[in-house]
Structure 1
Amino acid sequence: MQVQQQFTIVKEGNIASAKGFQAGGLHCGLRKKKVDLGWFYSEVPAEAAGVYTMNVFQAAPLKVTKESIAKENKLQAVVVNSAIANACTGEQGLQDAYDMRQLFAETVGIEEHLAAVASTGVIGELLPMDKLSQGISQIADKSNLGANKFETAILTTDTREKGIAVEVEIDGQTVTIGGAAKGSGMINPNMATMLGFVTTDAKVNAASLSTALKAITNKSFNMITVDGDTSTNDMVLVLANGLAENQSLTPEHPEWQSFFDALQFVCEYLAKEIARDGEGATRLVEVQVNGAVTDEAAAKIAKSIISSNLVKTAIHGADANWGRIITAIGYSGEPLDPDKVSISLGDILVVENGVPHPFDEDQAKEYLLEEEITIYAQLGDGNGKGIAWGCDLSYEYVRINASYRT
């Protein structure tokens, strides 16, 4: 295991790494061949928290999952289908989401309000409930178990699975936090088509878990963008089943920060993997902003830079066109002194105190051709800092989205 701060990254860790969790996936016919129905399950009810899309068109599964959590802030199992988003489907779509929850709860033997549902895929199509029902009925078959199958089942245009787990010691007990996510296009979360699921065997106070998730989401999932579009189906859920037998975690617990940091690392890792897997992407781009008036201002500026299509296309062409970065900073709406702004592409300084700094174009081009690049923006003497992640914008992105339904 690789040492990372106060926690360790579990080799081949996944959403089922924490005590008492299992996951699986199968093909039920929503897609031609690929696994398209996934689930994960806790042996006991778990404290639960969620964050959801800010799009006013919220898909039926989100409404149903919100109701489940609202009853007693607990969940025990989550079922997810890909291919069809069950969004903008009216009363029938909402009833299908309720039926999906009921069928799933009955199959795994839990109370209905302890089950959550999520969907991702094409908007405006009804779920083929006959296929979905048949698929749910096969969940008990142990041959369908496997976290890798879950990770595959939730994908749409993604090119790779996204999973991780870490371990951290709390009260002398080993606490594990695992996660899985999907997302490749329609990614500009305020809570994109993005789904994130995190499990832990830590014992955590429900209100504290919810507060932590919201704070961490604002520094992880909400700080990525692929194309500036916020989906109808975004959702991140965290389940904490307490089987690690630590003392209940709240911000007053002496090791709360260790837990918080580990949870934030898992969410940041998954967020960065989504950005790395952006539709047609060839680069993972990180933007670090320092010297802003506040952290909030720095975050907004970082997101403005990473969201600029002109910046993203310049990166794809390995063109050190720093004027596009300056422009994105300028229209962010945040206060700053233009004469104090400096910009670097990796270690290559291109703007110093608001004016061009001589640099080697060939060296800059070579850097921008790397798979991971970082843009640094120093705005002045403030204490505010923020980080955002995204990717380049390629010809392949246009091809994928021009034929998404075909």
Structure 2
Amino acid sequence: MPVGNIAPPKIIYPIDGVDIGITAAGVRYKDRDDLVVFRIADKASVACVTTSNQCCAAPVLVVREHLDKLQQQTEQKQTPHYLLINTGNANAATGDDGYQRALQTCQALADKAQVAAYQVLPFSTGVIGEVINRDAIVTGLDACLQNLGADNWATAANAIRTTDTVPKVDSTQVNLDDGRVYHVTGISKGAGMIRPNMATMLGFVATDAPIAQPLLQQMLVELTNQSFNRITIDGDTSTNDCCVLIATGAHNEQLIDSADHPDYEPVFLALQQVFLRLATLIVRDGEGATKFITVKVTGGKTVADCCDVAYAVAHSPLVKTAFFASDPNWGRIIAAVGYSGAEHLDANLVSVKLDDVAICTRGQLDPSYSEAQGQAVMSRPEITIHIDLGMGEATDTVYTCDLSHEYVSINADYRS
């Protein structure tokens, strides 16, 4: 079961300029939605980041190629008009055949929608190494196009799930001082094979704010680095990670084209809120997770050092299994800090707390610590590991979960 608050927002705001269609195409699953189409308004700006996994999936290759082609086009054709998303099959490690099938599904949607094939971006998630059911996708396109609607975000969040136990959606409103209002809505999926590197498993976020594309791309990189690139469930970076940010500019207002624009900060903060919520929902729904763990590292000489330490602790199977067992075996945390590879580290300066309980001060057991205190904290469903490196002012935070018997069971049975 997911950990903590995973409830959807009370209001899921439609984004003017984005319509979504969903159907049960039978790509892998029977009798459940598994195919999603986003239609994007002509004047929208679109940004995208993709996985750093060198064995990336065929649709990731196509996305990159189509984005390159879009940058070479005249201004009227620079916007991707459709996103095509399937779940159940990753179309990864499928060679040229998988690549051609990804292209063919894009062409099929382009023909039906009367746009150029490079204006369709394909995304897949699911089992790696199996031939994707291209015909099921192509056949399902008509149903997706027929039920396009602005209010389909929650249904789409459910349709892109694989081992996720809950759909992941968030939405917020931006109230500007002059009375103008913008909205941000997004969905994500992921529960295992999670250590994103430049993106999440799959994430799609949109706003009706008008943001210039070059700035939107910069914002997306910063936003993912603060959210999806700061979560880990099992340390595995997927072959299919992609995240898309859409700014439709639906109200014909002046473009936000720099961080100096008066609307930039409130819009960025709203996007940041949605990105972080979508990312932490993935951790809360981690395969077999029973605890949500925040690893907060302070006192670093550099942010890179803090990040290295946070990820070493968050990735450690020994740390994660100790949290599952509610065992305050803090030596495992210290060991992970030590092998993190942080460039600037002095073991005699490191201090660690579990929530408000000091367990290690300047490299050794805190004199006030008792096993009962540690046990009480470790029994909580949500825990923060505070690690102070004692070297400087830099900080970083990573979100993770414990490692349970259920994680093994889920992944042992995944293809069955």
TM-score in terms of structure 2 length? 0.90
Which region of structure 1 is more displaced relative to structure 2, 241-250 or 385-394? 241-250
Which region of structure 1 is more displaced relative to structure 2, 189-198 or 91-100? 189-198
User: Residue in 1 aligned with 2:203?
Assistant: 196
Residue 52 of structure 1, aligned match among 40, 50, 53: 50
The residue identity in structure 2 corresponding to 1:184 is A
Residue 369 of structure 1, aligned match among 379, 396, 401: 379
Is the alpha carbon distance of 1:120 and 1:344 closer, same or farther for their aligned partners in structure 2, counting shifts above 3 Å?
Answer: same
User: Residue in 1 aligned with 2:110?
Assistant: 105
Q: Does 1:313 align with 2:321?
A: yes
User: Residue in 1 aligned with 2:91?
Assistant: 86
What per-residue deviation string (whole Å, max 9, x for no partner) do you get for residues 43-101 of structure 1? 33421111111110111111111222221352222111001001111111111111111
Report matched runs for 1:183-332 at 5 Å.
183-191=190-198, 194-249=201-256, 250-332=258-340
What per-residue deviation string (whole Å, max 9, x for no partner) do you get for residues 164-192 of structure 1? 11222458431111110000111111138
Q: Does 1:403 align with 2:410?
A: no
Are the equivalent residues in 1 in contact too, given 2:328–2:374 (CA < 8 A)?
Answer: yes
Q: Does 1:95 align with 2:94?
A: no
Which region of structure 1 is more displaced relative to structure 2, 88-97 or 361-370? 361-370
Please give the alpha-carbon distance, in whole angstroms, between the structure 2 residues aligned to 1:242 and 1:193: 25
Please give the alpha-carbon distance, in whole angstroms, between the structure 1 residues aligned to 2:138 and 2:53: 29
Please give the alpha-carbon distance, in whole angstroms, between the structure 2 residues aligned to 1:221 and 1:343: 25
The residue identity in structure 2 corresponding to 1:20 is G
Please give the alpha-carbon distance, in whole angstroms, between the structure 2 residues aligned to 1:129 and 1:355: 59
Residue 143 of structure 1 and its aligned partner are, at CA, apart by 8.4
Please give the alpha-carbon distance, in whole angstroms, between the structure 2 residues aligned to 1:166 and 1:118: 25
Q: Secondary structure at the match of 1:140?
A: helix
Are the equivalent residues in 2 in contact too, given 1:120–1:193 (CA < 8 A)?
Answer: no
User: Residue in 1 aligned with 2:345?
Assistant: 336
User: Residue in 1 aligned with 2:30?
Assistant: 32
Please give the alpha-carbon distance, in whole angstroms, between the structure 2 residues aligned to 1:350 and 1:356: 6
Please give the alpha-carbon distance, in whole angstroms, between the structure 1 residues aligned to 2:125 and 2:134: 15
Please give the alpha-carbon distance, in whole angstroms, between the structure 1 residues aligned to 2:117 and 2:176: 32
Q: Secondary structure at the match of 1:164?
A: strand
Which region of structure 1 is more displaced relative to structure 2, 319-328 or 364-373? 364-373
Which region of structure 1 is more displaced relative to structure 2, 334-343 or 251-260? 251-260
TM-score in terms of structure 1 length? 0.93
Please give the alpha-carbon distance, in whole angstroms, between the structure 2 residues aligned to 1:46 and 1:69: 14
Q: Secondary structure at the match of 1:385?
A: strand
User: Residue in 2 aligned with 1:22?
Assistant: 19
Residue 109 of structure 1 and its aligned partner are, at CA, apart by 4.2
Residue 152 of structure 1 and its aligned partner are, at CA, apart by 1.2
Are the equivalent residues in 2 in contact too, given 1:175–1:244 (CA < 8 A)?
Answer: no
Report matched runs for 1:64-143 at 5 Å.
64-70=62-68, 71-72=70-71, 74-142=79-147
Report % sequence identity. 39
User: Residue in 2 aligned with 1:13?
Assistant: 12
The count of residues paired between Structure 1 and Structure 2 equals: 396
Which region of structure 1 is more displaced relative to structure 2, 157-166 or 369-378? 369-378
What per-residue deviation string (whole Å, max 9, x for no partner) do you get for residues 305-329 of structure 1? 1111111101100111111111111
Residue 360 of structure 1 and its aligned partner are, at CA, apart by 3.4
What per-residue deviation string (whole Å, max 9, x for no partner) do you get for residues 196-232 of structure 1? 1111111111111111111221121111111111111
The residue identity in structure 2 corresponding to 1:28 is A
Is the alpha carbon distance of 1:111 and 1:169 closer, same or farther for their aligned partners in structure 2, counting shifts above 3 Å?
Answer: farther
Q: Which runs of 5+ in 1 are unaligned?
A: 1-8
Residue 364 of structure 2, aligned match among 331, 355, 359: 355
What per-residue deviation string (whole Å, max 9, x for no partner) do you get for residues 112-156 of structure 1? 322211000111111112211111121133388722221111110
Are the equivalent residues in 2 in contact too, given 1:45–1:75 (CA < 8 A)?
Answer: no
User: Residue in 1 aligned with 2:3?
Assistant: none
Query: Could you say what the CA RMSD is over the residues aligned between the two structures, in angstroms?
Result: 1.9
Is the alpha carbon distance of 1:392 and 1:244 closer, same or farther for their aligned partners in structure 2, counting shifts above 3 Å?
Answer: farther
Q: Which runs of 5+ in 2 are unaligned?
A: 1-7, 72-77
